[in-house]
Amino acid sequence: MSLKNRSIPILLILLFSFVACEDNTDCSSSTQSQVKVSFRALTIPQPPLLYERIFAIGAEENASTGATFYENVYELPVNTLTNSTIFIFEGINNLRDTIEVSYDVQYRIISELCGVELIYRDLEIIYTSFDSITVVTPIMTRQTEVNFEIIL
């Protein structure tokens, strides 16, 4: 067997050894620490949305600012250090509404390499100044379209 013919099996063995040792662990998380909120009108024409700023107490730097719209979904960060968060909706003419939500925080080990992921589930409304609000999806994931729907 020539040197050239011997090198092919050696190269194949090295290649398979490298591929076998490669870690294919997916460390991506499907959960997130944001509540998705939308507005829905029950009447036509839709009443105007007069909110200009939406934020979570303690996370004002992540505020959603500007005019609000019915077709938008607003992603609001929850307080990751506790199991509840208060959201403030501020608008023109001193308009101010609040929603306080609670949630369970669970820990799940993704893998030894990736570590732990936080899962936020069992979302509930503790208090709201809105007339009507519905829990659409009680778990926070990237695939979730809406967690809460404010009905006006």
pLDDT, tens digit, for every residue of 122-143? 999 999 999 999 999 999 888 8
Tokens 């090295």 belong to residue: 14
What are φ and ψ of residue 140, in 5° steps?
Answer: -95, 110
Cα 118 versus chain centre, distance: 11
- Say how far apart CA 19 and CA 102 lie, in whole Å: 45
In tens, the pLDDT along 1-22 reads 554 555 555 544 544 444 444 4
In sign, the C-alpha dihedral spanning 38, 61, 33, 24 is positive
Q: What is the pLDDT of residues 42-99, one digit of tens each?
A: 888 999 899 999 999 887 777 888 888 998 999 999 988 889 999 999 998 899 999 9
Distance CA 139, CA 116 (A): 18
Strand order in the sheet with 115-128: 64-65, 51-56, 84-91, 96-111, 115-128
Q: Whole-model pTM?
A: 0.75
Q: What angle do CA 58, 62, 67 make, to 5 degrees?
A: 120
